[in-house]
Structure formats: structure tokens, C-alpha cells
Amino acid sequence: MDFSLTPEHELIRESAYRFGQQEIVPGLAERDRAHQSDRASLDKMAASGLLGVSIPAKYGGMDTDYISLGIVCEELERADTSARVVMSVHSGLHSLTILQWGTAEQKARWLPGLAEGAAIGAFALTEPNAGSDAINIRTRARRDGDSYVLNGEKTWISLSDYADQFLVVAVTDPEAKSKAAGMSAFIVDRSLKGFHSKAIKGKLGVRAGNTGSVLFEDVRVPAENRLGEEGDGFKIAMSALDHGRYTVASGAVGIVAACLDACNRYARERKVSGEEIGRKQLVQQMIANMVAGRDIGRLLYYQVGWMKNAGLRHTREVSLAKWQNCNFAFQAAHDAVEIHGAYGYCDEFPVERYFRNSRGAMIYEGTREIHTLMQAEYELGYRADKPLARMLPRWPFGQEA
Ligand code: CAA
């Protein structure tokens, strides 16, 4: 076993960290307070090359391995969750899913634009009445000649107002032998007639990020935009979540790291009766728990990155990493507020933002209840991961990519 990161990993960590601190953090507290997302940050991410991480060079990507994507997510979320969310939806849920399921023509058509950030991608599965219960989505895609006509509503869609193209899962055959077999996946352009998006206001966290609903009113999507075969839609959605959950799991470690950054500083500055509060054992206990969360969390997501590199199915492992790392992040943020006392309760310090942001990640991309049930089902033998018809290409990328 080799646990070491390569010099390339260290380099990408350093550049993602620098990008987060220099391009995301300035003005963040004000944007977060004003519930204001920043479209310009997407252009900056594109210019830095980050949107091409883990995409093969032949499609204009950085050709880095999948562990690098996790490292980028960790360092971006150390700055703010909104930046990591961009990687989750654009790179994880959208681009990697095209890399996994697209035909040679589809990959050549979409991946270069996505890798350079000329086009921003997003993911649309959830509906007002189907979140965890993804099997019961109602958005309908009716075949009509050389196209499909889409009608329905998706909600809680990150980058709903900014993305140029959406990976949309819809019902193509309501009479199929199983609900999963009746779904298909499409790449839908926002420029198509009948496409609308609307931002969601009043979120508890990730206030500097854009989230909303998208509506399809007789949107005519060319048949060549269907990803996979008719009936593959649910599997494509679930494998997209294997990639998205990886980015959430790695990003959660960034929240723990950010809590440590803030608490290390505060615990050594703040004095009680002339003594740094870092000397107090109850404060030390909270710091020690954060260290454990950061280091265990890294092991969990590095393992998933390694499995992606090796071309192995990793649905169980990524569910475990997402579930546990989000718990670590929430506990760390809770304790970071505690360590800062009353100062932790206002936005003069960043820890109240970490606390609000970390709560959302326990809901999206599989609630903690869904992941708890999945882990128990794997253990009891009610659930098992079989090799898939289309796997993500292993790294280093060869002909199969
Ligand atoms: N990859 C490929 N195929 C998969 C798969 C995966 N990871 N997981 C399951 N499948 C396949 C199965 O093999 C099965 O196919 P066969 O019938 O041919 O064997 C089919 O899909 C059905 O799978 P399951 O029987 O496992 O389906 P289920 O109904 O038991 O799944 C569930 C239940 C695990 C709870 C699932 O519905 C689930 O994960 N729900 C949560 C949905 C979720 O995370 N939503 C978040 C949306 S994104 C978001 O949050 C917003 C954002 O923008 C960030």
C-alpha cells in the first residue's frame, strides 16, 4: 500500500488553496450576507484550469487523476462551499458522467467546452415531490420523431441560473417493467425554447452560491442529446451521484480544515485569566476531534479516488465517505462556534458560515438517513455493487477514455 501523495497532488493542492484564498475569500462575507452569488467566479475558475481537472488531455482537460479532483474540492471548500459546489455539479455530476456514459461523438462534442469552462454544466434529478425518492420523478420526455419533448420541474438545482447545459433525468416509458427502467438521461441546453430557471431565496447556508428550479415547457431536445440508451436514466443518475458524492466528501474535509485554521488562531489569541484558551482541556478535546475528522476524512476520500483511478465500482465506499465526512464537518463547525463563544455566533468570524454551510451537505446528494440505510443494506447483504455496463475510464487515461 502506498499512502503518499505525488508532487503533482501537492502542486494542485497548493494552487487550489491559493485560488480559494485569493479569488473566493475576498468579499465573500459580504456576498454571503447579501445572498449574492458571483458569476465572475466561474470565469476565474475556468481561467485557472480547475474546471478541466480529471478530464483527459484529449478533451482539453488537465489529465490529472481523480484524487486530484478530491484535493481541489477540499481546498476550494476550505475557502467557501459555493466554490466547491461548482466542482460538484460541473465536474462531478456533469462532466465525469459524460466521460463515463457518453459515446465517442458525445464526449468529443461536449467535454472540450466543459473542460475549458466555455460551457458550464449542471445536474437536474430532484423534483418538488421526489428528493431521496428519486425513483418517483415525474418529468416526462416523450419521443417525437428525431427529438424528445420534455415537460416538468426540477428543483434544488445548483447553478440553475448560470449553467449552459443540464444533465436531466426524465421518464421516457411510464409503462416500463420497473420505474428505473422507464427513465432516460439528456443533455439539455438552456437556450432551448421552453426552458426557464428561477433562483431559490432564503437559504440557511451556501448563500454565495446559486441554487434554483428549472422548468421545461415543451422543450424539444434532439435525440442525439440522450446519454446512454433509453432506460439507462436511473443508472446514469446514480453513477453521477457516485461522482458528486465524492466531491461532497472531499469538500467536507475542507470545512474541517477551515475550522482548524480558525480555531488554531483563535485558541492561541483569546486569553482567559491570562491563559490562552488553547490550554484548556475541553477546548483541546474539540481541536483533537477536528484533527481526527480531517485525517479520517482524507483517508476515506483518498480511498474512493484510488478506486476511481483503478476503474473499480465504489458506490458503497463513496456513500460511506460522504456520510461520515459530512458528519465530521458539521461537528467540527459546531465545535468551532463553541470555541469562539459569542464571537462564533456572528459573522465577524467565518465559523458561523461553516456551521450553516455544513448543515446543507447532510441533506444534498443523499441525506444522512439514505446513506445510513445504504450502509446497513450492504452489510446485511440486501444491496451489492455489480460491475456496470459503462465504467468511468481508469487513470492514467488510455484509449478507453
Ligand atoms: N451506478 C449505476 N447504477 C446504479 C447505481 C450506481 N451508483 N446504483 C444503483 N444502480 C442501478 C442498480 O444496479 C439497479 O439496476 P438493476 O435493476 O439493473 O440492477 C437500478 O440502478 C436501481 O438501483 P437500486 O435498486 O439500488 O435503487 P433503489 O431504489 O434501491 O435506490 C436509493 C434507492 C439508494 C435511496 C436511491 O434512490 C438514492 O440514492 N436516493 C437519493 C437520491 C439523491 O442522492 N438525490 C440527490 C440529488 S442531487 C442534489 O442533491 C442536488 C445538487 O444539485 C447537488
Q: pLDDT tens across 303-319, in order?
A: 999 999 999 999 999 99
d(CA 206, CA 369): 21
d(CA 335, CA 358): 12
Question: Does ligand 1 have an atom closer than 6 angstroms to the CB of 365?
Answer: yes
pLDDT tens, position by position, 145-164: 999 999 999 999 999 999 99
Is residue 57's pLDDT more than 90? yes
Cα angle value 386/94/79 (rounded, 5°): 110
pLDDT recorded at residue 400: 83
Domains of the chain, first to last? 7-120 (1.10.540.10), 123-231 (2.40.110.10), 235-380 (1.20.140.10)
* Smallest CA separation from ligand 1 atom 38, residue: 132
Mutate to test the pocket of ligand 1, among 200, 235, 245 (most ligand atoms within 8 A of CB): 235
* Smallest CA separation from ligand 1 atom 4, residue: 235
pLDDT recorded at residue 1: 83
pLDDT above 90 covers a percentage of the chain that reads 97
3-state secondary structure of 117: coil
Separation of CA 322 and ligand 1 centre (Å): 15
Residue 399's pLDDT band, with cuts at 50, 70 and 90, is confident
Question: Does ligand 1 have an atom closer than 6 angstroms to the CB of 318?
Answer: no
Separation of CA 166 and ligand 1 centre (Å): 19
Separation of CA 88 and ligand 1 centre (Å): 17
Residue 188's pLDDT band, with cuts at 50, 70 and 90, is very high
Q: What is the mean pLDDT of residues 112-138?
A: 98
Question: Does ligand 1 have an atom closer than 6 angstroms to the CB of 235?
Answer: yes
Q: What is the mean pLDDT of residues 380-390?
A: 94
Q: What is the mean pLDDT of residues 181-209?
A: 97
pLDDT tens, position by position, 283-303: 999 999 999 999 999 999 999
* Smallest CA separation from ligand 1 atom 41, residue: 132
Among 10, 25, 148, 139, which Cα is nearest to 77's? Answer: 25
Residue 387's pLDDT band, with cuts at 50, 70 and 90, is confident
Question: Does ligand 1 have an atom closer than 6 angstroms to the CB of 158?
Answer: yes
Given a contact cutoff of 8 angstroms between Cβ atoms, the answer to whether 208 and 91 are in contact is no
Question: Does ligand 1 have an atom closer than 6 angstroms to the CB of 132?
Answer: yes
* Smallest CA separation from ligand 1 atom 5, residue: 238
Residue 401's pLDDT band, with cuts at 50, 70 and 90, is confident
- State the chain's mean pLDDT as an integer: 97
Of 116, 365, 379, 400, which one is the catalytic site residue?
365
Separation of CA 348 and ligand 1 centre (Å): 41
Is residue 33's pLDDT more than 90? yes
Residue 92's pLDDT band, with cuts at 50, 70 and 90, is very high
Q: Is 175 a catalytic residue?
A: no
pLDDT tens, position by position, 197-243: 999 999 999 999 999 999 999 999 999 999 999 999 999 999 999 99
Q: Where are the beta strands (DSSP E) in 175-227?
A: 183-189, 195-199, 211-222, 226-227
Largest CA distance in the chain: 78
Question: Does ligand 1 have an atom closer than 6 angstroms to the CB of 185?
Answer: no
pLDDT recorded at residue 183: 98
Read off the DSSP letter of residue 344.
G
pLDDT recorded at residue 283: 98
Separation of CA 35 and ligand 1 centre (Å): 32
Question: Does ligand 1 have an atom closer than 6 angstroms to the CB of 388?
Answer: yes
Question: Does ligand 1 have an atom closer than 6 angstroms to the CB of 384?
Answer: no
pTM to 2 decimal places:
0.98
Integer-rounded Cα Rg, in Å, for the chain is 21
